[in-house]
Amino acid sequence: MRRLLNDEALVAHIARQPHGRAGFKQLVRETGARGQAREQLEAALERLVARGRLLEVRPGYYVVPSRSQEFRTGRLHMHRDGYGFLIADEPVEGIRGDVFIPPDAAARAMHGDKVLVRITRRSADGRAEGEIVRVLHRAHPTVVGEFRAGPRGCYVIPHDDRIQQRIRIPAGMELPERSLGVDRIGAQPTRPRQPAELDGQIVNVELIEFPRDNRPGVGRVIEILGRPGDFGVDVEVIIRKHHLPHRFPPEVLEEAAAMPVAVRPADLEGRVDFRGLDVVTIDGETARDFDDAVWVDRAPNGNYILHVHIADVSHYVRPGTAIDREARLRGNSVYFPDRAIPMLPLELSTELCSLKPGVDRLVFSVLLEIDHTGEIVSQRFVRGVIRSVERMTYTNVHLLLEGDEGLRRRYAPLVERFELMRELALILNRRRMRRGAIDFDLPEPLIEFDEWGEMTGIRKAPRNIAHRIIEEFMLAANEAVATHLEAAGVPALYRIHEPPDPQKVAEFEEIAAHFGYSLLGGPVRMQRFPQVVRTRDGRKLRKDILVADRRMEISSRAYQKLVTQLEGKPEERILSYLMLRSLKQARYSAENRGHFALASTAYTHFTSPIRRYPDLIVHRILAATLEGAPPPLDEETLAAIAQECSESERRADEAERELVEWKKLKFMAERLGEEFDALVISTSKAGLAVELDDLFVEGLVPVEALPGDRFGYEASTRRIVGRRTRRAFQVGDRIRVRLDRVDGMLNQYLFSLVESPVGARS
């Protein structure tokens, strides 16, 4: 009997068949699967179909998506107007952009569902249209929304306006057995006695029947969250909308409660003792869990000695335990402006595993010797114990290094250590820049609250040399671990970032050219693809479409060079953002494909096991290699974990971003009529896109709101120009605007011009 193929080999085998297709009987014959092996083959095919690696286009008949020009799998992204787009898992050759799904076809699924789509039409410009053949995975087992009690029955209007269908609530399913409420001091809201009393409240609904073909879904209320606008309801809505696990099951809490409260003598066996070193943590002011601690010294030969000590979560969280299963389910911690959903119970995340000052803590350490050019001369990985001497903040380290006399006196024994850290961090940064790493420094919003939890403002989160120190040290540690695992040849988990899609680069180049910039220093090479398209009267035409040459090599150094050129320019904000959008998203993978943005051949996540499950997995794999034990996980399991954690990360990012936008909308809605200084960050036919100077808010000055003339958009110069006065507005102009309208449905701020721009050109 032939050896049964593993998942990767099975996909590769089918891909080699004509058109990337194979039937089950054919596979049984070619693999020689009999008895139990045949059952294993069936299970492997089911597993690969569930993951979207294979398509079962009809019973027992499988296709590799990347080889098919007719079918594609991906996520359905709905628009509030009823149509949708397929965000394909794999690009389709000859197709530009996402596949359009018309409203009638889109009604068969819900926003976020994983679907199988058949491409039904291709246009001459490379756009495509498709229809949903099958829903592969439902994204929404529950839906959060506003309960309505009407004369014809009860229903829920989903909070997410991309979910078009209302959810019908049959009689008897309007009230949950208990109301879970959201008051953070623990008070439970009064349970409504009648459905009418629930009218207008925000509820969470479990779907019993999914919406299909314009028929509403059917559900039952499982939670009552409160009234819109109640304190804390916004966070609870986001948690449920994005299906974030937020309550630890009883068995997890029981395991956490049974954990020791301190490091025990038995835990120290075989560990390196670093308690005599003045190790410190450096984090934000509001941080509660401390994953990493650092120490730097100079070796007798002049090289630098860097210690990166990471909380040894793997010592406490063992494979297969309830805590481990819940951590894998969550994938990562989620951080909102006023609270967090931790991956691990608080007994671990903020106590036993957190590297708090003055107490013994178990660590997994990366010990590096680095020369004056930033090259790693030697590296060791050991398990140890530390006792952090200080819990430092980014602000204090920055001020100390800037010469603050009070802080330099307060931390006098550590001043030289911090100066050495700065010296080494800058060397490591220069080394990364030399090899072509991209260093986007886009600002991020920081929400400010008063003592009662009410939002008081939005500002750009500060970044200083202390952030750079920790960033460079963590990058060095992660890369060192990745290169070690790669050299060991064991199944491992990597953090990969693949090169950008040439078509995305071509689209960026088209915009950048208007500003006089280019990533490639010349025109993008294009390929011609013949396509047969239908005209409106039904005639068939043969046309060629132009698509960016996928063999074109795009280096990270080209991005880095353009980032440097843009520094300090008016167009820096918009072009840096568009450059970032042209790149693919980083993800986890069991296969090392390198990290494009870091210009690294091997990279992983090792430094945050308290808040990221992949880091915990990497700790276990590294421990096994050091102990000479067999790899703890095979490639198939690692591939599944990689996909799960990548999806969890996307989900958390979307939830965090959406809540910030929601709070910004509420904050700005109370400032209608107020005036702000603003920067023009882009122009279009619609008007001026502006960013407020003092608040992390972007909005639009409609072209019709510009006073004193009739203004029009000049595409050749990307300016908005008055027809009579020739007054012009362009990227980089500073203007003063008044907030006229906040559109919550469109998540949009509309402004009007209240005074002439400083330095407006004509």
Domain covering 671-758, topology:
OB fold (Dihydrolipoamide Acetyltransferase, E2P) (2.40.50)
Cβ atoms of 377 and 370 within 8 Å: the answer is: yes
Predicted local confidence at residue 577, as pLDDT: 84
Predicted local confidence at residue 94, as pLDDT: 67
Predicted local confidence at residue 756, as pLDDT: 54
Q: Which pTM was predicted?
A: 0.83
Predicted local confidence at residue 5, as pLDDT: 63
Scan for tokens 């994938």, then name that residue: 331
Strand partners, 150: 153
Compute the distance between CA of residue 13 and CA of residue 310 in angstroms, rounded to an integer: 42
End-to-end CA distance of the chain: 81
Instruction: Give per-residue pLDDT as tens, 138-149.
Output: 888 999 999 998
Q: Please, what are the averages of pLDDT over each run of 10 residues along the chain (762 residues)? A: 64 83 84 80 84 79 77 84 83 74 85 86 81 85 91 88 85 66 43 75 91 81 88 91 93 96 95 98 91 97 97 97 96 91 96 97 98 97 98 97 96 97 98 92 77 76 91 98 97 96 83 82 54 52 52 81 86 84 93 96 98 98 96 93 94 92 89 92 90 87 91 88 92 91 85 68 42
Instruction: Give per-residue pLDDT as tens, 363-380.
Output: 999 999 999 999 999 999
Give me the amino acid identity at 714.
Answer: E
Does domain 7-65 correspond to CATH entry 1.10.260? no
DSSP 349: I
Q: Residue 352: name the closest of 289, 277, 310 by CA.
A: 289
Q: Give the torsion sign (CA, 17, 21, 23, 27).
A: positive
Domain covering 69-137, topology:
OB fold (Dihydrolipoamide Acetyltransferase, E2P) (2.40.50)
Predicted local confidence at residue 461, as pLDDT: 79
Domain boundaries of the chain, sorted by first residue: 7-65, 69-137, 142-241, 251-494+601-659, 499-583, 671-758
**Choices 2.40.50.700, 3.40.1010.10, 1.10.3720.10, 1.10.4030.10: CATH for 142-241:** 2.40.50.700
371's CB contacts (< 8 A; 6+ apart) are: 303, 304, 377
Predicted local confidence at residue 180, as pLDDT: 47
Length of the chain: 762
Q: Which helix (H) or strand (E) holds 739?
A: strand 734-743
| The two domains 69-137 and 671-758 share their CATH topology (first three levels equal) | yes
Burial 512-525 (b: 16+ CB within 10 A, else e): beebebbbbeeebe
